[in-house]
Amino acid sequence: MGNTGYRLPAEWEPHAATWIAWPHRRATFLGDFTCIPDFFTRFIHLLAACEPVKVIATGAPLAEAQKQLSGVANVECIDIPTNDSWLRDTGPVFLVPREPEGKGRENGGPVAVCWEWNAWGGKYPPWDRDAQVSRSIAGRLGMAVVTPGVVLEGGAIETDGEGTLLVNHRCVVDPKRNPDHSREALEQVLRNQLAVDRVIWVGGELAGDDTDGHIDQIARFVAPGCVVAARQPDRLDPNQESLADNLRLLESAVDARGRRLEVIPIDIPPRFAFDRTQLPASHLNFYVANGAVMVPVFGGPTDAPAVRTLASCFPGRRIVPVDCQELVRGRGALHCITRDQPAG
């Protein structure tokens, strides 16, 4: 039985808030961690100028967040325990009613879909607190909860808001995440629980990405019928071939409305590394906030072209480049640390 009275909204639709988990765990980070809370502070300042920001933590990390963010308007710190700070993956996925309020809508407001969590296939124990985060946020909001009973991270899915879902099979059809489910069975779960009509499967992953290929590093919707896709022209970069394959796949894909996808390539930094370890530096890990798009940049020649391309994709929104050379040492960027709560 699916969530037929609801739909999965696109990120560019109005938000009620953005949720962020305060960083306090070094597990995924290379190098110095002490600069990471300062990065979060700066980013939350930028985000709070666009919409309310809800910051979760407990104990000493909560006290640190409250101290760092003291006096910042539009920010609320909330006591919810966490293991890690990648809230895109641990937080709930929100659905909104199909019918606008006051026009025959039978349902209430948004509902929270709370997936199972095992730290990207068991990579970073313990994860007991993060396994409860989505339900804790839903409880704080007083929302109804849907529990599909399979492992899925929020960074693994991408939607146009019109019934199309992009998914990388590598991080969903995975024996370390969902050992007893076939791809066909998992697609049915996605269709039913996220109320989508078409699932477009891609592959590939970026070197250094410990999520096994989250879609929010590889391909993103920027409008119905239109995606931006990561490209790597450097033939010496290990990402070159798999990204080229995905580009070809996306160019032949059809969405839920029967449209052939328009695909706009965005070059990502070649062989971006810290201490000789390649990292998943991708401009596609942007975050669409109310009135703005926060774009990760990495201090190289791909920054300006990526910003220009995304500016053309989001007319009327302010484009905010955010230096993520520190954050990407944790193997993610802006989309990975944010969870949008739709206004619904």
pLDDT at 335 over 80: yes
List C-alpha distances in Å: 231 to 151, 211, 245. Answer: 28, 19, 10
Q: How many CB atoms lie within 10 A of CB 332?
A: 28
User: For the residues 317-337, what does the mean pLDDT come to?
Assistant: 98
pLDDT at 104 over 70: no
User: For the residues 311-337, what does the mean pLDDT come to?
Assistant: 98
DSSP annotation of 277:
E
Q: How many angstroms separate the CA atoms of 253 and 213, rounded? A: 19
Give the residue carrying structure tokens 């991080």.
171
DSSP annotation of 83:
S
Q: Which of 171, 313, 324, 336 is catalytic?
A: 336
Q: Residue 224, preceding bond cis, omega within 30 degrees?
A: no
Q: Which of 92, 85, 81 is nearest to 28 (CA)?
A: 85
Q: How many angstroms separate the CA atoms of 92 and 340, rounded? A: 9
CATH for 6-23+41-342 (3.50.50.60, 3.40.109.10, 3.75.10.10, 3.30.450.20): 3.75.10.10
pLDDT band at 2 (very low <50, low <70, confident <90, very high): low
Model pLDDT, residue 4: 77
Q: Annotated catalytic, 336?
A: yes
Model pLDDT, residue 106: 59
CA 309 to chain centre: 20
Model pLDDT, residue 1: 42
Model pLDDT, residue 107: 63
User: For the residues 102-117, what does the mean pLDDT come to?
Assistant: 79
Strands 226-231 and 262-267, sheet pairing: parallel
Model pLDDT, residue 102: 52
Q: How many angstroms separate the CA atoms of 225 and 314, rounded? A: 14
DSSP annotation of 254:
B
Q: Which of 134, 144, 18, 29 is nearest to 81 (CA)?
A: 134
Amino acid at the residue 264: I
Question: What are the pLDDT digits (tens) for 192-234?
Answer: 999 999 999 999 889 999 999 999 999 999 999 999 999 999 9
SS3 call for 220: strand
Q: How many angstroms separate the CA atoms of 93 and 19, rounded? A: 12
154's tokens: 């929020």
Average pLDDT, the chain: 96
Residue boundaries of the structural domains of the chain: 6-23+41-342
Q: How many angstroms separate the CA atoms of 181 and 187, rounded? A: 10
Q: How many angstroms separate the CA atoms of 65 and 84, rounded? A: 14
Which helix (H) or strand (E) segment holds residue 96: the answer is strand 93-97
Strand partners, 341: 17
pLDDT band at 99 (very low <50, low <70, confident <90, very high): confident
Q: How many angstroms separate the CA atoms of 49 and 71, rounded? A: 13
Q: How many angstroms separate the CA atoms of 113 and 90, rounded? A: 11
DSSP annotation of 14:
P
Q: Which residues lie closer than 8 Å to 151 by C-beta, 6 or more apart?
A: 115, 116, 117, 118, 121, 177, 178
Question: What are the pLDDT digits (tens) for 140-177?
Answer: 999 999 999 999 999 999 999 999 999 999 999 999 99
SS3 call for 18: strand
36's tokens: 């990471």
Question: What are the pLDDT digits (tens) for 268-292?
Answer: 999 999 999 999 999 999 999 999 9
Q: How many CB atoms lie within 10 A of CB 121?
A: 17
Would the pTM of this model clear 0.85, i.e. be above it? Answer: yes
The size of the chain, in residues, is: 344
Strands 75-79 and 318-323, sheet pairing: unpaired
Model pLDDT, residue 103: 55
